[in-house]
A = this chain, B = another copy of it.
Amino acid sequence: AEGGSSAHVAARPAGSGPAYETLLVTTEDDITTITLNRPAKKNAITTEMYNDIIAALDQAAKDNSVITVFTGSGDFYCSGNDLSNFTQIPEGGVEESARRGGDLLRKYVKAYIDFPKPLVAVVNGPAVGISVTVLGLFDLIYATDRATFHTPFSQLGQSAEGCSSYTFPKIMGPAKASEMLLFNKKLSAVQACELGLVTEVFPDSSFQSEVWTRLKVYAKLPPKSLSLSKQLVRSVERDRLHAVNDAEVELLKERWTSDECFNAVMAFFQAKAKL
């Protein structure tokens, strides 16, 4: 169907950069598109994918494209951190696992903070966890009306990342942000748009065609004016965002070694096993 996200990413022009296992990266019409491509797992992000996305963002920052788009293949945008990342305990135990996870997370969020061009999320379906929290670091967020936005941190004994502990209260005020960040409230696309987290919501049937038509027009604007304007907006907040990222990662490292988190993640896998 015209509305399917696979339609856009199907064409893979030559010279589109290195291939990734579970990531598609294409450049067309001055737009570099990074597509999470693990639809069978609802595009949950594995350790390998975090590293691949960092590399893809680094490449998009340097290529000739004007705008960079982040999206998902299949029905989901992204189901967040793959919780199986928690089950691969290295030598050194959970402390070492938390240290490595923290380093990777800090680097991952840093890649969004420092990204120098307009960054657009094309949210093609439900979004969970870190795929939601980093949206506060995007410039435009277009969502299908099928999208939902869910950050169930405390439910998993964890805490906010992606700079959302700062960007969400700033965008929607603490009275609304706390419902998401502390109390696991899931937002509809329309609710997220009313709260300013999402730029605009489209009917699912015309989502892809409407969004890409618009983005192709935007990508024809003066490129330096766009990138310098984006950097201007970011420059006021950059130092604070890096400090917030650091503080969030430190807390999460503590959380990942806590009983609350261990018990909550175990309960998640037990519930899954029963299905």
Seen from chain A, the residues whose Cβ lies within 8 Å of a Cβ on chain B are 118, 135-136, 138-141, 153-155, 157-160, 165-167, 169-179, 181-184, 195-199, 218, 221-226, 228-230, 232-233, 235-236, 240, 243-244, 247-248, 251, 254-255, 258, 260-261, 264
A140 to B177, CA, bound (A): 9
- Given the interface contacts A181-B233, A233-B181, A255-B228, does A138 sit within 8 Å of B260 by beta carbon? no
Q: Is the CB of A233 within 8 A of B177?
A: yes
- Of residues A166, A167, A221, A243, which shows the largest number of chain B Cβ atoms within 10 Å of its Cβ? A221
Q: How many copies does the complex hold?
A: 3
Q: List 8 A-B contacts (CB under 8 A).
A: A138-B174, A139-B174, A158-B225, A159-B232, A169-B233, A174-B233, A183-B218, A232-B248
Q: Is the CB of A196 within 8 A of B175?
A: yes
A194 to B244, CA, bound (A): 28
Q: Is the CB of B181 within 8 A of A229?
A: yes
- Chain B residues with CB under 8 A of A184: 221
Q: Is the CB of A118 within 8 A of B178?
A: yes
- Of residues A182, A235, A261, which shows the largest number of chain B Cβ atoms within 10 Å of its Cβ? A182
